[in-house]
Amino acid sequence: MPLDNDDLPIGRLLTRREALAIMSATGVVLLTGCSPRDMVGSDSGPCAVRPRLTPGPYFVDELLDRSDIRSDPSDGIDRPGALLALTFTVARIASPVCTPLAGVQVDLWHCDALGVYSDVIDANFNTVGQKFLRGYQRTDADGVARFTTIYPGWYPGRAVHLHFKLRAGTSGLPGFDFTSQLFFDDLFTDQVHTLAPYSSKGAGRLRNSGDGIYNSGGSRLVLATTPTTEGYAAAFSMALQI
């Protein structure tokens, strides 16, 4: 899979001192207007600043309102791989507390167990017309959006990752469009990728430390993933000022 078209990382991480200064002076103005620059994760410390990262060349706005994104809608067949239950929680920053933010459209997309994206043309595959591992949900009254997907595989030049986008949807919220990526602990991925069909990919997976996009802020975007009776589960929390 060619990577030359991957966009360069966007923005930079704030230092803790910068973040605290922003909190003190402005009540954490991190996502503002129509061009948000950063994200604050409410799950890690008083001010865990998270960067916006490149969407890469594979976002396709499929308009698929669905929680389970594993299948292609044309045949209903799930893409093979270990089940991953992923929960997003989105809040609005309202100093000094955060309150649940309903109506945010959360788009999720990623490659399959063998590193293939749907609905794109690549040097190694053509999946135009297929829509597996893509979809969106809107956050509920508790600010929560849930997805059922699979643990992603890998392709040359990138660490294992997911893509997500936050948009105002049709909720009447001020316009915004925030895109970033989520990563996984390498040792955890080592275990998952011993399973089929991941194991058929062979050696060569890039680890987080070798991924240029990860090194532009990905350490603050790593999912805490745990085993479940059906597969794996992970959750990610964030707060926006809009």
- What is the fold of 57-91+99-234? Protocatechuate 3,4-Dioxygenase, subunit A (2.60.130)
Q: What pLDDT does 25 receive?
A: 35
The model carries a pTM of 0.81
Q: What pLDDT does 171 receive?
A: 59
Distances 4 to 8, 96, 110, 119, 182 between C-alpha atoms, Å: 10, 43, 18, 19, 21
Distance of CA 134 to the CA centre of its chain: 12
Rounded Cα distance between 153 and 219, Å, is 19
Largest Cα separation within the chain, whole Å, is 54
Q: Which of 108, 95, 102, 86 shows the shortest CA–CA distance to 181? A: 108
Q: What pLDDT does 46 receive?
A: 31
Segment 16-63, tens digit of pLDDT: 443 333 333 333 223 322 223 334 443 443 333 455 666 666 889 999
Q: What pLDDT does 165 receive?
A: 92
Q: Which residues of the chain have pLDDT under 70?
A: 1-57, 95-96, 169-173, 242
Of all helices (H) and strands (E), which one includes residue 17? helix 16-26
Q: What pLDDT does 205 receive?
A: 97
Domain assignments of the chain as residue spans, ordered by start: 57-91+99-234
Q: What pLDDT does 34 receive?
A: 25
AA identity, residue 229: T
